[in-house]
Amino acid sequence: MWLPYIDGEPYRPLGNELELSGVQTYRRVIAELNQLPDNTWLSHHYCNRWSGILNVDGKYLLVKGYDKKIPWIWSVDFLRHDFPVGILAPSESVETFMKFFRLLKTIGYPLQVVIADDVSPLRIAVKHYYPKAKIQLCQTHYVENIRQQLHVRTEDKYLNFFQQLTEQVFALEANQTTRDTALFQLYQRFGQHNPVVQKVLVDIHTRQTELFQYQSIPWCPRTNNIIESFNSHLNARLKSIKKFQSFHSAERFMNAYLIRRRTKPFTDCRGDFTKFNGHAPLENTIRKGLDYPRIPGFQEPEM
């Protein structure tokens, strides 16, 4: 019963077929959720075909006992579309990201590059556990932050500057030489006597390595669009859950959600990933020759 529940079916309709009350159905579902393996354990014991290109993001959940929403930090392997590790934590602290990347290290994840927002604790943890790994800042969020700083949506003062910035500096075909030229020209045109523009240009110049890391790593994306799309799916499921009643219940639900996500075949992958349609994420990373994990209520796919 846990599968349709995680997919969004309410307790009462779910139990009607078995003539169970809402309370009985709830207890049955919880019992099944408690029997599920831990997602990190699943990754550790069954998976080794990771690409090392990892998108990391957080989704904030409302949990009883906490004044503010707390983060669910999760990840998706970009080339495999599978989810190695996810953790619930009280905050996006150094301790939280240390735990996250320690778990990645435990499962043997071969991290090459992390695509993420500009989060200092994440950077510290990456350097500690994967000193050779690179960081690619999500350009979508970085550019959006600039847009907000310049009030582009409500004021025209910096509109021309912002448009030229995105078209010249953040153009997909731009390289180190063309970017440096564009930054200098933008400074001459807009920034010589404007500290706001100067601050934007200096920050981009200072962060060039992390903003454009993708150009030196094959297949590395420059945005977190892939995990944002999975966040949208998660948001849709969480609409019916106003608040988790405890940290444990939230953690249990998210573990089940990850396992369901990993064992549910894709239907709408596009472009280079169309080949994934009809296949579950776990199929992309499970060790060759290894039997599919036994997951309560789940039927093993033909591999």
- CA 119 to the chain's CA centroid: 13
**What confidence score (pLDDT) does residue 18 get?**
79
Q: CB-hemisphere CA count at 13 Å for 152?
A: 18
Write out the two tokens for 25: 């159905």
Considering the chain, what percentage of its residues have pLDDT values greater than 70?
Answer: 98
Q: Give the mean pLDDT of 251-260.
A: 98
What fold characterizes domain 39-134+224-285?
A: Nucleotidyltransferase; domain 5 (3.30.420)
CB of 104 within 8 A of CB of 129? yes
Length of the chain: 303
Q: Give the mean pLDDT of 81-109.
A: 98
Find the range with the poorest average confidence among 17-21, 173-177, 228-232, 290-294. Answer: 17-21
**What confidence score (pLDDT) does residue 179 get?**
96
- Rounded CA-CA distance 296/2 in Å is 9
pLDDT-derived band at 256 (thresholds 50, 70, 90) equals very high
111-129 pLDDT, tens per residue? 999 999 999 999 999 999 9
- CA 182 to the chain's CA centroid: 31
- Rounded CA-CA distance 284/217 in Å is 21
Mean pLDDT of the chain: 95
Q: Give the mean pLDDT of 79-102.
A: 98
**What confidence score (pLDDT) does residue 12 get?**
81
pLDDT-derived band at 11 (thresholds 50, 70, 90) equals confident
**What confidence score (pLDDT) does residue 301 get?**
66
Q: Give the mean pLDDT of 26-30.
A: 92
Write out the two tokens for 294: 């036994």
- What's the pTM? 0.94
- Judge whether residue 276 has pLDDT over 60: yes
- Judge whether residue 13 has pLDDT over 90: no
